[in-house]
Chains A and B, each alone.
Chain A
Amino acid sequence: MSEASHTDSGAPDDGRLLARLHEMFRESDPPPADVVELARQSFTLRNLDAELALLVEDSDRATGGQGRHRAVAVRGSGKPPEPRQLTFQFFDPRTRDELLIAIQVEAVGVRRRLTGHVAPQGAVEIEMRQPAVPEARQVEVDQLGRFVIEDVFPGPASITCRREGAPPVATQWTLI
């Protein structure tokens, strides 16, 4: 077995020290029970009928992407960083059905404000889901496909778009 080469090379008491570390983390830093419970409950957030819109652009992930987007007015003295820009895309090559959801994420105090739009335009209903919130939140969309969601908790979020005559589309879970 290849493991022999790992265990043999160490100092004689390496194994004991590793075992002590194992015990220490097991006793002193286990996953918090409430956090594990929330992960279990997230099962109810499955969105079985929805197609997945993938995150195709994230200004926080782009290298050297700072300054690519226009800076917005600085509110108060907190000097918030540039808003984060997210773009989600769903495309079905068979039907050529495509949906783009662009969202700007701003920090407002400890909450977030999401400003977004859906393209192409058309009648669409939007709802947002978060594990910290039991019910999906309905969001108003104007005729141009624009929407604003205030007072969003920081944490994972997913937005579902429901359209006439097309499958619903949900954005992939994203930490905002």
Chain B
Amino acid sequence: MTPEDQRSRPPGADLRTDDLAQLVGKAIGGDQAAWNEIVGRFAVRVWAICRAHRLRSADAADVFQQTWLRVLQNLDSLREPDSLGAWIGTTCRHEALAAIRRGKRAQPVGDARLLDLAAEPIEDPEPPTLVADRNAELWQAFHRLSERCQEVLRLLVVEVEDGRPSYEFAATVLGVPVGSLGPTRGRCLERLRRYLTEGIDGAAGAS
């Protein structure tokens, strides 16, 4: 591959099988740089999964760390390097759900409340300190969405390749058919647009 090719490739398109197989092989062989590259490529996805599950920052950081350690521990049993992304994704989801379960069990609450929690955040993820002004409205509107909508949208926009949302990634992580995501996406975006319009119309008190 020439440097010319490298430059012209869009971000995300470099997740090629041969490339990944090589990286995984090197990492198994003890190459720290190859491992760094793997972390670099998938860190945004793994973080997005943690945040899509609305984990508090400390829990998100723990799940993030735990995911990479599990990946490292099982790297040499990976048969299909091109499934590395999906595998990391499901590992992270699994750990995130376990963390949520433990969080619930650690908080003594009534049965009714416990059942509700399935559809409720443990805690609103704190807004990052630097939400740019142009993003502030969108950030607020997004966090008024249902947990499911937030989860689906966050995963869909992890990597927008050629303007196309990351359907396969989201479907794998959520364990749902790819085809089911189109309708969900439409519904969630419609609601998001409504919240945005309400915000602009000055209905801020409604939130």
Contact = CB atoms under 8 A, between A and B. Distances in A.
Q: Which of A7, A11, A22 has the most CB of B within 10 A?
A: A22
Say what secondary structure dominates the interface of chain B. helix
A56 interface: no
B115 to A, nearest CB: 14
Contacts of B183: 9
B186 A28 contact: no
B43 A24 contact: no
A173 B43 CA distance: 19
Contact of A7 (B61, B138, B142, B164): B164
B52 to A, nearest CB: 10
B106 A81 contact: yes
A38 B46 CA distance: 14
B143 to A, nearest CB: 11
Contacts of A23: 135
Interface stretch (A29-37, A115-123, A135-143): A29-37
A149 interface: no
Interface residues of B, number: 61
A58 to B, nearest CB: 8
Interface string A3-25: 10111011101110111111111
Contacts of A154: 62
Contact of B72 (A9, A46, A60): A46
A18 B163 CA distance: 9
Interface of B: 27, 32, 35-36, 39-40, 43-44, 46-48, 51, 57, 61-66, 68-70, 72-73, 95, 98-99, 101-102, 105-106, 108, 128, 130-132, 135, 138-139, 142, 153-154, 156-158, 160, 163-165, 167, 178-179, 181-183, 185-186, 189-190, 192-193
